Amino acid sequence: MLILDKPPGLAVHRGPRGGASLEDWLPALAMGRKRLPQPAHRLDADTAGCLVLGRTKPMLATLGALFAAGRAEKTYWAVVRGAPPQAAGTVDAPLLKRSTARDGWWMAVDPAGQPARTAWRVLGAAAGLTWLELRPRTGRTHQIRVHCAHLGCPILGDARYGGGEGRLHLLARAIALPLDPPRAAVAPPPPHMRAALAACGWA
């Protein structure tokens, strides 16, 4: 297996409109093996940080089972506009995919959607921004982005969900996998997040 620090702006899979993606780099990541490594989960193109790949079929199956069962412990950092209502808590809000011809698709909190839960806590704050640690308990598309907006504090740079223009301030900070032996990794904040994190107390 491999754990990569994926840069922001790089899609994991090649989209219908083309453009660069992690798939372009898989031959280089094979490191002599005939089989190309494959992602065990997904990150949004604009999300930086820890991405796990399996190098063999058995490992990819093992990793897929861990992620499907919610046993992969994922930790995210986000800088959000505004602040949540308290210092820590859990968002329990189901998500449903919606789309229109004009606006494309997005995820929305809807009782008819799939269950989605995210634990969060405040790590720091300054000047109308808050630094959050988030631990998703489910793995829905755009879950952290929508749940932050649902809390009233959209992620900085998340234009789709109310965070304004600019680069998305969301980092897949750490991953812990209950393998034998256990595996874990931590990703540093990408350059575009560092000023806002520092303002909120990160050093």
pLDDT of the residue at 14 = 85
Q: Which residue range(s) make up the domain with 13?
A: 2-199
Average pLDDT over residues 97-119: 94
pLDDT band for position 112 (cuts 50, 70, 90): very high
- Nearest-Å Rg of the Cα atoms of the chain is 17
Q: Convert the pLDDT of each residue in 29-61 to its tens digit.
A: 998 888 999 999 999 999 999 999 999 999 999
User: The whole model's pTM is what?
Assistant: 0.94
pLDDT of the residue at 102 = 86
Q: Hey, which residues are catalytic here?
A: 44
Degrees to nearest 5, angle at CA 50 with 195 and 145: 65
Cα dihedral 107, 112, 114, 117 sign: positive
**Main-chain dihedrals φ then ψ at residue 24, nearest 5 degrees:** -65, -25
Q: Convert the pLDDT of each residue in 181-194 to its tens digit.
A: 999 999 999 999 99
179 residue type, one letter: L
CATH label of the domain that carries residue 189: 3.30.2350.10
d(CA 169, CA 200): 13
- Give yes or no for residue 150 having a pLDDT over 80: yes
In terms of pLDDT, which residue wins out, 60 or 14? 60
pLDDT of the residue at 19 = 83
Number of domains in the chain: 1
Instruction: Check if the beta carbon of residue 138 is closer than 8 Å to that of residue 71.
Output: no
d(CA 197, CA 114): 32
d(CA 154, CA 160): 10
